[in-house]
Homo-oligomer: A and B are copies of this chain.
Amino acid sequence: MRSRGRPRAGSTDNRSLVLAAARELFSELGFDRTTMRAVAARAGVDPALIHHYYGNKDGLLAATLTPPAAAAQLLTGAFDDPDNAGEELVRRVIDVWETHLEVREQMAAMLRTGLSHEHAAALLRDTHRTFVLAAVGDVVADDRREFRAALIGCHLAGLLLARYLLKVPGLTAATPAELVATVGPVIQHYLTGAIPERSKLAESDSNGHRSR
């Protein structure tokens, strides 16, 4: 996966070695127990280089949680045809996850870190806002777009987690086309469909709680 030999010249190589090492160690040991020195040792670079690139451990964590380029470009143009954006989005997400193994590995590492460290969870939230919410905001102008973006994000994240990381058979057996045709309309609904208004739910909410 990762070369343990001496890094070649060129900062891009060194940066990817450092980020790969940091992701592994944050996942394995958690943020608090990971030292910059240990990351440098695993990456095979001088610790001073990591400080030079990322400042401190918080900066390094932020860098490890930045989505890979393939994932970051995922949303570009996906919503150009708003009426077909749901299926297009599912198609692109599945395509990236089918073909980019490193995206899966990074999502697993991001989730593991985000589940154990509040600072990492905050960065995951920021990433979600920057990508999904920004893209949804280009399509939908109503005041529910943050809710819409979060519903879309959580459904797609659950799908990817279950299919590619936990390998739930009901999802691994489905073809990409089936997932696009089945989940796409739901994503489309969350994007542009009617979302129940909170004011009209007040009564049923209290009824719901009373009946429990």
Contacts and interface: CB of A to CB of B under 8 A. Distances in A.
A27 interface: yes
Contacts of A181: 196, 201, 204
A209 B196 CA distance: 36
A162 interface: yes
Interface string A119-137: 0010011001100010000
Q: How many copies does the complex hold?
A: 2
Interface string A151-179: 10111111101110111111101111110
A89 interface: no
Contacts of A157: 158, 161-162
A95 interface: yes
B186 A171 contact: no
A28 B30 contact: yes
Nearest to A171: B150
Nearest to A168: B150
B167 A121 contact: yes
B196 A170 contact: no
A11 interface: no
A108 B112 contact: no
Interface of A: 27-28, 30, 91, 95, 108, 111-112, 114-116, 121, 124-125, 128-129, 133, 146-151, 153-159, 161-163, 165-171, 173-178, 180-183, 186, 189-190, 195-196, 198, 201-202, 204-205, 208-209, 212
